[in-house]
Amino acid sequence: MKDFFSSRMQSFRHAFRGWFYVLRTQRNAWIHSAIATAVFFVGLWLNIPPRDWAVIILTAALVFSAEFLNTSIEVTVDLASPDTHPLAKIGKDVGAAAVLVAAFAAILIGLLLLGPPLWQKIIALLS
């Protein structure tokens, strides 16, 4: 049983090491983090319902997962193909496109969920 828990702890350490690597090396991860933090505080301010929180959390997880997978693709391609190669470029571009799709979806979801209550709050503040 001790080995089981020890190996689980080691798995968590590896995962957090990867997470911190992405935050340390990928500028876009910082942009995603800043926007996710802003969305979180706006959601608190608007007192959105639990179902909206669930969608926002899943959406943020999707964007971060895409960013993590894209970084994984990039470093693996760099390892396998240190020289410039058209297929390596395609692999990296497709990984970046996955992040872009997730980010655009997150923007639309944020506008759908936060837009109407935010607009009402702003109108109320201005009246």
Query: Could you tell me the pTM of the whole model?
Result: 0.89
- Whether the per-residue pLDDT at 88 is higher than 80: the answer is yes
Domain ranges of the chain: 27-126
- Its CATH class, for the domain covering 27-126, is mainly alpha
Give DSSP secondary structure letters for the chain.
-HHHHHHHHHHHHHHHHHHHHHHHH-HHHHHHHHHHHHHHHHHHHHT--HHHHHHHHHHHHHHHHHHHHHHHHHHHHHHH--S--HHHHHHHHHHHHHHHHHHHHHHHHHHHHHHHHHHHHHHHHH-
Work out the average pLDDT over 91-116: 98
- Whether the per-residue pLDDT at 79 is higher than 80: the answer is yes
Task: Clarify whether 67 is annotated catalytic.
Answer: yes
Among candidate residues 32, 62, 64, 67, the one labeled active-site is: 67
Quick one: pLDDT at residue 4? 87
Residues 3-45: tens digit of each pLDDT: 888 899 999 999 999 999 999 999 999 999 999 999 999 999 9
- Whether the per-residue pLDDT at 98 is higher than 90: the answer is yes
